[in-house]
Amino acid sequence: MPLAIWLTAIGIALVLASILGVCVGSVPIPLGDVGQVVFSRLGLGESAPALNGTIIWDYRIPRVIAAALVGAGLTVSGIALQGLVRNPLADPYVIGVSSGASFGAVLVMVFGSGALLGLGVSTGAFVGAALILVLVFLVAQRRGAFSDSRLVLAGVALGYLASAGTSFVQLQAKPGQISGILFWTLGSVAGARWNSLPVPAVVIIVCVLLMLTRARALNALSLGDDAAVAVGVNIRQERLILLLLAALCTAVTVSLAGGVGFVGLIVPHATRLLVGADHRRLLPAGIILGALFLVVVDLAARTIGSPIEFPLTIFTAVVGVPFFLFLMAREKRA
Amino acid sequence: MSGIELKAVSIRLANESIVHNVDLSIPSGAFLAVVGPNGSGKTTLLRAIYRAVKLSAGAIFIRDRDVSRIPMAAAARQRAVVPQFQDADVALTAADIVGTGRHTHTPWWAVQRPTEQDAVLDALQMAGAKELAGRMFGTLSGGERQRVLLARALAQKAETLLLDEPTNHLDARAQLELMELLSNLTLTRVAVLHDLDQALAYADLIAVMHAGQVVATGPPAEVLTNELTSKVFGVRSSIMKHPLTGRPHLLTAPLPDAAADVVPAAVRTY
């Protein structure tokens, strides 16, 4: 099927899911009221009821946007890393980002931001992710070049080290802090507010768009180093660019929403089953499918046990696996 | 102007000397066959021309430009490559793979344009593989894959074409078709070949490698003497006129003493 049709179809689904995400919640709000709130906040209509306004504008819209950004960012980073290290089991966390971020975030949560230079949880997470990334790059590189296997090995090893630190710090936590920590490490966009969105949004969008431009290079890299050199890909430079973009994008998604699991591993494969492995199709489709997936998962996470919220990772697998198994079965028949 | 020029090229891999002190000059537009026993350094030499391995000494020039001193994008316009092996465990179609050959020709935003798809189909057509365009690479036969890889190289529209054992995996007819196709191109061509007879029949020049060195170069009919094939390949040879085509044809036979060695003992006592 032509790419344009796929993109349109999942694009419409994304719009519908987002609208649903804004209307549905512990307080259901009719679509008409949502429109009223949005127009009044944009200065285009008369003022809306204050409570609805707060729920929709200050809570639901930012979290839907955050879910879409995180889903798209993790999916595209996953596609890039899987192509880069030529390993279908790779995901954005294989380079140690999420472990480092968790360590940073948990340190802030347990010892308080006062003890750590006044860092907030998300900044702590970003600093942790960045530190682990620098270490992984230093260990993995040889004369400025990255081989796929060294990168994965360094990422996994240092990731374990950071996880050890996280577990150790967790044991120092007071009982009341544990559920907050668990919530964070399993990922959530419940905390998304307008003022926390702009910086992550810009970074994620820029990284994703830049990764889009590397689609054909990723195709060539997926054929092997020799083939890539043969057609004129500067593999050293291309690897470095993709790696930095994927790492930065992932670090920012983790600082925004915690350790949302499964998305960066399975949504890339699901997209591949839908539109094929050509990165020129895979990357654009992955942006929309990843965003759609996490918007739906977030909706499930806050409505199924309403008014209790669940972390996202509990539902990424529950929502994702049946869909993924369906795609695998479909491919087998084809 | 020289098509490809190798000056005192030496290559070491993992501290082992693979190629030493090779000088070679290929005129523009000529077809050079590189032959030699297994492990003589042919593939390594070819990979050095397209910069997949580094030289430990010497320099390689394509049309008077040092291949190690130009950007990769410019290198891809200098030379296109048909490698010996391509991992088929990729979920890409033949057209996608040929499309990677256009890497340096079209910017990233233009890869979906119709002219781009035409360039891909033209290259597939030239390689006799147009009907394979939409097929998944992994489902193709060895010979079909080889034609797709040739199409990718042709899509690159480079000045020279490097091929590593291009007739591997091909059946008798496909081998001849490929060699005919190659001999009719006007590009400078370098092909590593195992079949001495094909080298004789189709190449303008031949370079014989032995233990990391080029031991003979020149027109194939002059180079491939019985003395040379005995010494380098361990086989006797004779050049005859092909009864069907009238072209020179190389016949090989085991060396007399080697022949005695390979006769099984049981047969000898009989």
Q: List, for residues B150-179, the tens digit of each pLDDT value.
A: 999 999 999 899 999 998 888 888 888 889
Is it the case that residue A1 has pLDDT exceeding 80? no
Contacts of A227 in chain B (CB under 8 A): 83, 86, 100
Give the chain B residue nearest A230 (alpha carbons).
B81
- Residue B258 pLDDT: 56
Residue B220 CB-density burial (10 A; 0-12 exposed, 13-18 middle, 19+ buried):
buried
Phi-psi region of A262 (alpha: psi -120 to 50; beta: other; left: phi over 0): left
pLDDT over 70 for what percent of chain B?
A: 94
Helix residue ranges, H only, chain A: 3-23, 31-41, 50-53, 61-85, 97-115, 121-140, 148-172, 175-185, 198-212, 215-222, 225-230, 235-257, 263-275, 279-303, 312-333
pLDDT over 90 for what percent of chain A?
A: 32
Angle between helical axes of A215-222 and A235-257 (0-180°, round to 10): 110
Contacts of B112 in chain A (CB under 8 A): 3, 280
CB atoms within 10 A of CB A35: 14
The arithmetic mean of pLDDT across residues A77-98, rounded, is: 86
Structure tokens at A143: 């004369």
Residues of A with CB under 8 A from a CB of B: 3, 212-217, 219-220, 222-234, 272, 276-278, 280
Residues A117-149: tens digit of each pLDDT: 667 888 888 889 889 988 998 888 887 677 778
3-state secondary structure of B249: strand
Structure tokens at A107: 């340190």
Least CB–CB distance from B92: residue in A232, A234, A277 = A277
Q: Quick one: which H or E segment has residue B227?
A: helix B226-228
Least CB–CB distance from B90: residue in A225, A228, A277 = A277
Most A-contacting residue of B92, B100, B150, B161 (CB-CB within 10 A), to test interface: B100
Q: Which of B122, B120, B132 is nearest to A280 (CA)?
A: B120
Q: Which amino acid is at A246?
A: A
Buried b (16+ CB within 10 A) or exposed e, B93-117: bbbbbbbbbbbbbbeeeebeeeebe
Q: What is the DSSP track for B49-104?
A: HTTSS--SEEEEEETTEEGGGS-HHHHHHHEEEE-S--------BHHHHHHHTTTT
- Residue A116 pLDDT: 65
Contacts of B195 (CB under 8 A, 6+ apart): B167, B175
Residues A201-246: tens digit of each pLDDT: 999 999 999 999 998 889 888 888 888 988 989 888 888 899 889 9
Q: What is the DSSP track for A168-203?
A: HHHHHS-HHHHHHHHHHHT---TT--GGGSHHHHHH
Residue where the block lists tokens 């990284």: A207
Contacts of B152 in chain A (CB under 8 A): 231
Most B-contacting residue of A82, A219, A223 (CB-CB within 10 A), to test interface: A223
Whether residue B100 and residue A220 make contact (CB cut-off 8 A), yes or no, is: yes
Least CB–CB distance from B91: residue in A228, A234, A277 = A277
Contacts of B52 in chain A (CB under 8 A): 225-226, 229-230
ipTM of the complex: 0.80
Q: pTM for this structure?
A: 0.85
Is it the case that residue B267 has pLDDT exceeding 50? no
Q: Is the peptide bond before A30 cis (omega within 30 degrees of 0)?
A: no
Cα angle, residue A17 at apex, residues A13 and A20 outer, rounded to 5°: 140
Q: Which of B171, B165, B215, B173 is nearest to B193 (CA)?
A: B165
3-state secondary structure of B194: coil
Euclidean distance between CA atoms A102 and A261, whole angstroms: 12
Is it the case that residue A46 has pLDDT exceeding 90? no
